[in-house]
Structure 1
Amino acid sequence: MVRPFLLSALMGASLATAAPTLPNRPVEALDLARYAGTWHEIAHLPLFFQRKCIDTITATYTPRPDGTVGVHNACRTAKGMDASDGVARRADADSGALEVRFAPGWLAWLPMVWADYWVIELDPDYRWAVVGSPSRKYLWVLSREPSMPASQFRAIRDRAQARGYPVDRLIMAAPLE
């Protein structure tokens, strides 16, 4: 009786730590002008800086003349609306690899204030996007609309899991249709 239990426990452990089957990398091309605008967060992995957010989570991206992008994140908390502003820059010329910082501008020279922000999946019409990181610690599912069809979300979640993200820990921030 111990052997079947041990065997099933080992199989379960190997499934939980199975290697990703899809690559975790940024999309090859990201048009920042099309990406600009407001996105509604559908789900995210737990993060310290989002711990007070209840719902109505948005990210608004505004291109700047210097090639960077203004970032305005907002959400509803128990005390009302809360927001933070930052800046994003390209990590390379064309791909979805960006870096974002919310530290003051005078600290921008410090590499540690910039965090990887990878657009890892993007609807061809820029209607939804999936943002992650090389470490798989960060994951956001974004939509141009404040909700998303459940079947579409499940497909996105399944692909994120195939990339190695811990989707069982996703926090839903918006309703599914």
Structure 2
Amino acid sequence: MTRIAVSAVFAAALALAGCIPDGPVGNASVPEPRKPVELQRYLGTWYEIARYEASFQRGCEAVTASYSLRPDGEIAVVNSCRQGSPTGPERSAEAVASPVAGSNGAKLKVSFFRPFYGDYWVLDRAPDYSWSIVGEPSGRYLWILSRTPRLSEARVQALVERAKQLGYDTSLLRRTKW
């Protein structure tokens, strides 16, 4: 095989590996999102408060996800984190997302490696879009997000309780350091 072909096969293998769930199932019966999501209101920067640990985020602190509308109507996604500590070196990854038809904006298909897509479900959100709880159908991934990096302990506990009400094993949550 030529170097280009070997590189293409390697890239495809990496992309497929990124699509395979790598954590324990924390919710065997993920509920369908119930609230519509106005994508214009969802755009902007979100700060990770807690998550289920995944290999692609291992060692990440001060995690952000920024969403913006692209000229073609898709959503640009930039996920960033600080490696090892809130002041560690920054890592980032770019993706593109598209709303799933019929989901009222609550489900997106996200791709870091086209043509491979993963699910992103906004399972719950605040009426004012100040927080959201995000998961996907396998129950292996969960994120609690906020528009600010720090929340009161009472607010964090309320969001953890909401994730529990959605069927998640909250003992698997890892708090993000800021």
TM-score range, shorter chain: 0.7 to 0.9
- The answer for the alignment partner of 1:143 in structure 2 is 146
Q: Give the secondary-structure state (helix, strand or coil) at the position aligned to 1:102.
A: strand
Letter in 2 for 1:61: Y
Letter in 1 for 2:77: V
1:128 paired with 2:131, answer yes
Aligned length: 149
Q: Residues 19 and 39 of structure 1: is their aligned pair in 2 closer, same or farther, counting only changes over 3 Å?
A: closer
1:84 paired with 2:93, answer yes
Identity of aligned pairs, percent? 38
1:72 paired with 2:78, answer yes
- The answer for the alignment partner of 2:40 in structure 1 is 33
| 1:58 aligned residue (56, 59, 64) | 64
* RMSD (Å) for aligned C-alpha atoms: 2.1
* Whole-Å separation in 1 of the counterparts to 2:177 and 2:76: 24
- Give structure 2 stretches of 5+ with no counterpart: 1-25
1:84 positional shift = 0.3
Check whether the contact 1:43–1:141 (CA below 8 A) recurs between aligned residues.
yes
| 2:112 aligned residue (83, 98, 102) | 102
1:92 positional shift = 2.0
Q: Give the secondary-structure state (helix, strand or coil) at the position aligned to 2:134.
A: strand
| 1:164 aligned residue (157, 162, 167) | 167
* Whole-Å separation in 2 of the counterparts to 1:171 and 1:18: 15
1:95 positional shift = 3.4
- Give structure 1 stretches of 5+ with no counterpart: 1-16
From the CA coordinates, give the structure whose radius of gyration is larger: 1
1:19 positional shift = 8.6
Q: Residues 18 and 143 of structure 1: is their aligned pair in 2 closer, same or farther, counting only changes over 3 Å?
A: closer
Query: Structure 2 length normalisation: TM-score?
Result: 0.77
Query: Structure 1 length normalisation: TM-score?
Result: 0.77
* Whole-Å separation in 2 of the counterparts to 1:42 and 1:147: 7
